[in-house]
Amino acid sequence: MSLPSTFPLLHDIRPDDISMSPFIVSTTRGFLPRGDPITKLPDAFSALENLLQRMPIKKLDGEPGLLANGKFGDAVLADLPDLTDVILKHAYDMVLITALYRDYSFLASAYLLEPCHERHVKGEEYGLARDRLPKNIAVPLNTVSKIAGFKPWMEYAGSYALYNYRLEDEKLGLEYDNTRLIRAFEHGLDPSSSEAGFVLVHVAMVRHSGELVDGSLQVIQSCADGNRDNFNAGLAKVVSAMTKINKTMNLMWNKSKPGDYNSFRTFIFGIAKQSMFPNGVIYEGVSPEPQFFRGESGANDSIIPLCDNLLEITMPNTPLTEILQDFRSYRPGNHREFLEWIHYRAQEVGTKTFALQDANSAKWYLQALDQVRDFRWRHWTFTREYILKHSKHKTATGGSPIVTVSYSTCTSLLLGGKRNKHLLCTSAVTLELLGSEV
C-alpha cells in the first residue's frame, strides 16, 4: 500500500477555532494542544467547577479539601446534578468538551479510588475500589468522551497531563515557572508540590515536540526527494529537540520527589487489569455491562513512539508487545494517525538505509538514536526510584505487569547484546527487563 506523501499537518494552529479538536499535531506546538486549555468552566457548569475546587486533598487556598477526610463520595451524590443536557447544548465547542472530559475524568477517578486512598494513607494495601460510577458522573463522562474521541476514563493527553496546565501570566508563555495545574488530586494546586512537578515536567518536555515534528517531516520529505543536505538538517532538528526534551526530563528529580509519588499515584490507576477493580466498573445509566479501561500513562505520550517510527527502531515480539499496541488506542486520534503515517512512510522511503549510506548522515542518525537511548535509560531510573523502591503494587497505572513476571525469555530475545538494550526495547519493556536483571 502506498501512503499519501504528505500528512495534513497544521502549520497554522488556529487556537481560536473551537470546532476542531485541541489535539491536532502541529509543527509549532507538536503534541501539545493547539491552544492552552480553558481553566474555568462557564457558569452553567458551576456545580461541577465548585465540586472540583473542593475536591483536592489540599485546595488552592491551602485548606484540606473533600478527599482529605473521605467526604468526596458523599459530596458527589449530594451536590452534583446530571449536566448531560447542558453538555449537549455545547457539543459544537470541542475546546469546552475536552475541558469537560478532563473534569469528569478527574471526578470519576477520585470517586472510585477514594477508598483506596484512605487505606493507602494508613499504610494498608489499596484493597477494593468503588465499583459503580453514579449516573451523574457516568452519563456526562460517557457523553463528552464520545464527542471528544477519548475513552471514558482519564487519559494522559486529554486529561491529567497535557490538558491540565495553565499559564500564570499569559505573556510569559510556557516557561516552566509560569505553568500551574488546573486540576489536582493531592497537593497539585501548589506549584511547588510533587504532583504539580510531575505533570508540569511532562508539559515542559512536550513543549519541545514542535521542533521534533518539524524535523521528522523534513527527514521523510528530503529522504523521498534524495536531498542529502535537507535530510541532515532534518535529523539535526530531531537531535536538537530531543536534547532539549532530555534536559527538561532531568528536572523531574527536583520538581517531583520520588518519595512523594505514590501518594497521588493512587488516583491515576485504570480500571482494567487492577486488583482494585476485579470486576471492572458499572457505569450507571450507560450500560449494565462492566467497563474496563487502562489507566493513564506516559506510555500514551507520542515523543518516543515518533522517534521509534522515524528512525525505524524495530520492536521485538514479547508478551508486552500486545500491551503496548493496546496503549495506542489511548492517544488522541490525530496523534495516532500521525504516528502511523510516520511509521509506514519511514519504511517506504527508507530513512535508516538512506542515513547509513553517508558518513555525515550516519553521524546525525546515531546522535538521534543516542537521544532515544538517553531518554530510555533515565526513564528506567525513574521507574526504579519512583515506583519500584516505594510500592509493592504489582501493576503499573496503565495495567502492565511491573514487577511480577519473569521476562528472562524475552530478555534474551530482545537484547541480542547488552549494549543496545535500551534502544531495542520500548520503555515499558525496558523496565520489565531491567526489573528482572538489576
Binding residues for heme b are: 379
Cβ–Cβ < 8 Å for 105, 153: yes
Site for ligand HEM in 300-329 (CB under 6 A): 301, 303-305, 324
The Cα–Cα gap between 314 and 320 comes to 14
Tell me 426's DSSP state: -
Q: Do 110 and 67 meet the contact criterion of CB atoms below 8 Å apart? A: yes
Least Å distance, CB 337 to ligand NFK, is 22
Closer Cβ to ligand HEM, 338 or 354, answer by number: 338
Of 26 and 136, CB closest to ligand HEM: 26
The single residue among 158, 400, 410, 434 that binds ligand HEM, judged by CB under 6 A, is: 400
Minimum distance from residue 62 beta carbon to ligand NFK (Å): 25
Q: Nearer Cβ to ligand HEM, position 100 or 206?
A: 206
Q: Which three cell numbers stand for residue 145?
A: 468522551
**C-beta closer to ligand HEM: residue 281 or 320:** 320
Using the rule CB under 6 A, which residue among 30, 152, 298, 435 binds ligand HEM? 298
Q: How far is the CB of 302 from ligand HEM (least distance, A)?
A: 8
Start-to-end CA span in the chain (Å): 43
Binding mask 181-220 for ligand HEM (x = CB under 6 A): ---------------------x--x---------------
Count of H helices and E strands in the chain? 18, 4
Minimal distance in Å, beta carbon 229 to ligand HEM?
31
Report the candidate in 182, 94, 85, 91 with the shortest Cα–Cα distance to residue 136: 85
Which residues are annotated binding-site positions? 379
Q: How many beta carbons lie within 10 A of that of residue 435, not counting itself?
A: 20
Smallest separation, CB 382 to ligand HEM (Å): 4
Site residues (CB under 6 A) for ligand NFK? Answer: 156, 160-161, 202, 265, 268, 296-299, 387, 396-398
**C-alpha–C-alpha distance, residues 94 and 197, integer Å:** 28
Q: Is 5 exposed, middle or buried (0-12, 13-18, 19+ CB in 10 A)?
A: exposed
User: Among all residues, whose Cβ is closest to ligand NFK?
Assistant: 298
Q: Which is nearer to ligand HEM, 102 or 202 (CB)?
A: 202
CB of residue 364 vs ligand HEM: minimum separation in angstroms?
22
- In the window 373-392, what residues touch ligand HEM (CB under 6 A)? 379, 382-383, 386-387
- Considering only the stretches 139-147, 172-180, 187-195, 293-301, report the one whose residues sit in contact with ligand HEM under the rule CB under 6 A: 293-301
Which amino acid, 307? C
The b-or-e profile of 226-239 (16+ CB within 10 A means b, else e) is eeeeebbebbbbbb
Give min distance, CB of 265 to ligand HEM, in A: 8
CA distances from 212 to 87, 208, 282, 302, 360 (A): 36, 7, 41, 11, 20
How far apart CA 367 and CA 220 sit, in angstroms, is: 17
Q: CA 279 to CA 271: how far, in whole Å?
A: 9
Q: How many residues bind ligand HEM (CB under 6 A)?
A: 26
Nearest in space to 346 (alpha carbons), one of 29, 28, 3, 10: 3
Helix (H, G, I), strand (E, B) or coil at 311: coil
The nearer residue to ligand NFK, 268 or 434, going by C-beta atoms, is 268
Q: Which of 98, 159, 193, 297 binds ligand HEM (CB under 6 A)?
A: 297
CA distance 322 to 337: 19
Among ligand NFK, ligand HEM, none, what does residue 304 contact (CB within 5–8 Å per kind)? ligand HEM
Interface residues toward ligand HEM, by CB under 6 A: 202, 205, 249, 252, 297-299, 301, 303-305, 324, 379, 382-383, 386-387, 396-400, 402, 426-428
